[in-house]
Structure 1
Amino acid sequence: MVNTGMQLISFTCAVTGWIMAIAVTALPQWKVSAFIGNNILTSEIKWEGIWMNCIYQTTGHMQCKTYDSMLALPPDIQAARALMCLAIFMGWLSCTVSCCGMKCTTCAGDDRRAKAGIALAGGILFILTGLCVLIPVSWTANTVVRDFYNPNVPIMHKRELGQAIYLGWAAAVILMISGTVLSSTCPLMERGGRYRRGYIGRSFANSPATAPDPPKPITSSSLPMREYV
């Protein structure tokens, strides 16, 4: 039988990763100020996200401003906007599909084959959601590191990795691992159209073989009349 507890754990972790991806999309801490060289003014910290940039002061005040033009944004930010929005939509779709394919739900009735296919599709969607989160986060991190070590970039424009980057990496890993586990809980088809142990408690291949019928004894009543001649 399918481990219902494993399905519930993997689904819960996947939903947690999806919520983390939503938080990453909204947070402005993708890039933070780098205090190096002559840039030692720590009373203000600048945050840059994919939707806005903020200035946080040590007094507790924070001012945020959305970007004026989308076309003026660098390619990594534009790609991050599209992919993170796609990840949020795919995460919602993954949750809906996975709920229908889980063994503890009544969706699809008693059709075990349909529920197995739905569970597999939900797991694959979670994996794709994790990839949609991983790509923009890693791209932005590569841009930050490259500009940080580029001597042609002014010190005041250098940035460091923000908290949203690390949270995005964690969300991507959780989504992909949970999707893999959720996909592995569905039965695979064997040759000849028979199921392995999974949603069906017993496989046809493991059923005990029936003994052949014993031969019937030959009696005089079973012989034709010509045998007496």
Structure 2
Amino acid sequence: MPTTGVQVIGFLVSITGWVGGVLVCAAPYWRVSAFVGDELVVSEVVWEGLWMTCLSQLGRIQCKVYDSALALSGSTQFCRVMVILSLLFGLFAMPLGVIGMKCTHCLEGVRDAKARLVRMAGGVFMVAGVAFFLPVFWTTFAVIRDFYDTNVPPPRKRELGPALYLGGGVACMMLAGGVLLYQGGSAPSGAPSKPFFGKGAGPAKDNHPTAVAEGKQDRAYV
């Protein structure tokens, strides 16, 4: 596949993953109340996210933002920091990718600089994907651990919310897009990206022994 196509696909995949990361960050669907025994009323469902908690009761949903960030658990604070860092990394990588891609007109005369910018954007997107995967993995681990812990009361047990599944896909998209961007910027810089037309086209033909001999014969007849 041409290098330009790899860069464009990698950039689009990374941007799609970043937009999905914004939605996952804001969604209050990271953890959902678990139905364990008879400890929980079926008509009430509690949803918990990084920024708010929601209560669904008889078709009505009421959401409330957490009162204090310092009162949250260390796990939630860690997830907040890592998700925000991931989104900031992606936001920083976007202009680098746009400037460095071959299909843009920025820094046209400096091919090596464009390739370096594309590789840098790919590396930053890969870091963003890893940073987003860490809070998703940690929350998943904590939910499963507490669910099977006999010391945790049944009303406090939680199950995996849909945002965790989507968050895993988002992290993989940013990571895969970063890899494609990096590979697209690692192509040999000596190869021309566009066909060359004009008087200078086909220099190898002029230096070919047959062409040299034909030129000598023409001069001899003249």
TM-score range, shorter chain: 0.7 to 0.9
1:9 aligns with 2:9: yes
Change (3 A) 1:196 1:151: farther
Residue 219 of structure 1 corresponds to which residue in structure 2? none
Counterpart contact for 2:21–2:170, Cα < 8 Å: yes
Counterpart contact for 2:3–2:187, Cα < 8 Å: no
Instruction: Report the TM-score when normalising by structure 1.
Output: 0.81
Give SS of 2:159's match: strand
Give SS of 1:47's match: strand
Question: Where do 5+ consecutive residues of structure 2 fail to align?
Answer: 197-202, 213-222
Instruction: Give the distance between the partners of 1:76 and 1:161, measured in 2 at CA.
Output: 15
Higher helix share: 2
Runs of 4+ in structure 1 off by over 3 angstroms are 195-202, 210-213
Residue 68 of structure 1 corresponds to which residue in structure 2? 67
Q: Greater relative contact order (Cα 8 A, min sep 6): structure 1 or 2?
A: 2
Q: Amino acid of the residue matched to residue 25 of structure 1?
A: C
Equivalent positions of 1:182-221 (< 5 A) are 182-187=181-186, 195=189, 197=191
Q: Amino acid of the residue matched to residue 35 of structure 1?
A: F
Of the two, which has the highest radius of gyration?
Answer: 1
Q: Amino acid of the residue matched to residue 179 of structure 1?
A: G
Q: Amino acid of the residue matched to residue 22 of structure 1?
A: V
What is the Cα deviation at residue 201 of structure 1?
Answer: 7.6
Residue 177 of structure 1 corresponds to which residue in structure 2? 176
Residue 139 of structure 1 corresponds to which residue in structure 2? 138
Q: Amino acid of the residue matched to residue 175 of structure 2?
A: M
Counterpart contact for 1:45–1:55, Cα < 8 Å: yes
Give SS of 2:127's match: helix
Equivalent positions of 1:76-87 (< 5 A) are 76-87=75-86
Aligned length in residues:
204
1:45 aligns with 2:56: no
Instruction: Give the distance between the partners of 2:46 and 2:186, measured in 1 at CA.
Output: 51
Give SS of 1:56's match: strand
Give SS of 2:99's match: helix
Instruction: Give the distance between the partners of 2:155 and 2:148, measured in 1 at CA.
Output: 13
> How large is the RMSD of aligned CA atoms in angstroms?
2.4
Comparing 2-11 with 50-59, greater Cα deviation is found at: 2-11
Instruction: Give the distance between the partners of 1:128 and 1:23, measured in 2 at CA.
Output: 19
Give SS of 1:115's match: helix
What is the Cα deviation at residue 185 of structure 1?
Answer: 0.8
1:98 aligns with 2:97: yes
Aligned-pair identity in percent equals 39
Instruction: Give the distance between the partners of 1:92 and 1:153, measured in 2 at CA.
Output: 39
Question: Where do 5+ consecutive residues of structure 1 fail to align?
Answer: 190-194, 214-229
Residue 22 of structure 1 corresponds to which residue in structure 2? 22
